[in-house]
């Protein structure tokens, strides 16, 4: 079953593990910890396992800005990025939500349409 919730500190290890799978190190751990502490990290789960996460900030012209969406390779193309973005749109602390992606990321660009 797919669920989404605001991340808590117990989720941090799995968030770091998923990111390490993507970039090969845990250099962003302090960034993730701060986002979790601020309540600016959302996780998507499949049953009890974290499938991916979204981090946002609210300092983009006083609007929410999605700065990172990461989905574990084993859960990609299964709707988890869309689930995270839908949750963000419905629960955003600001009336506007912005995001950006590289032009080369055709998969994620499809979720922005």
Q: What is the pLDDT of residue 60?
A: 84
**Which CA distances in Å does 22 have to 26, 63, 89, 91?**
10, 28, 25, 27
Residue with tokens 């974290």: 50
Q: What is the pLDDT of residue 88?
A: 92
Q: What is the pLDDT of residue 101?
A: 72
CATH of segment(s) 2-105: 3.40.630.30
Q: What is the pLDDT of residue 47?
A: 94
Give residue limits of the domains in the chain.
2-105
4 with 45: CB under 8 angstroms? yes
Per-residue pLDDT in tens (0 to 9) along the chain, 113 residues: 999 999 999 999 999 999 999 999 999 999 999 999 999 999 999 999 999 999 999 988 888 999 999 999 999 999 999 999 999 999 888 888 888 776 665 555 555 45
Q: Which two tokens stand for residue 37?
A: 């502490």
Q: What is the pLDDT of residue 104?
A: 61
CA distance 77 to 96: 26
Q: What is the pLDDT of residue 59?
A: 84
CB atoms within 10 A of CB 46: 16
């Amino acid at each position: 079953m797919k669920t989404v919730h605001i991340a808590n500190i117990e989720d941090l290890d799995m968030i770091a593990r998923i990111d390490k799978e993507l970039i090969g190190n845990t250099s962003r751990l302090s960034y993730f910890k701060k986002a979790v502490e601020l309540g600016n990290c959302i996780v998507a789960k499949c049953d009890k396992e974290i499938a991916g996460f979204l981090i946002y900030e609210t300092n983009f012209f006083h609007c929410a800005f999605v700065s990172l969406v990461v989905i574990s390779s084993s859960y990609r193309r299964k709707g988890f990025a869309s689930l995270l973005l839908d949750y963000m749109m419905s629960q955003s602390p600001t009336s506007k939500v912005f995001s950006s992606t590289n032009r080369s990321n055709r998969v994620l660009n499809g979720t922005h349409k």
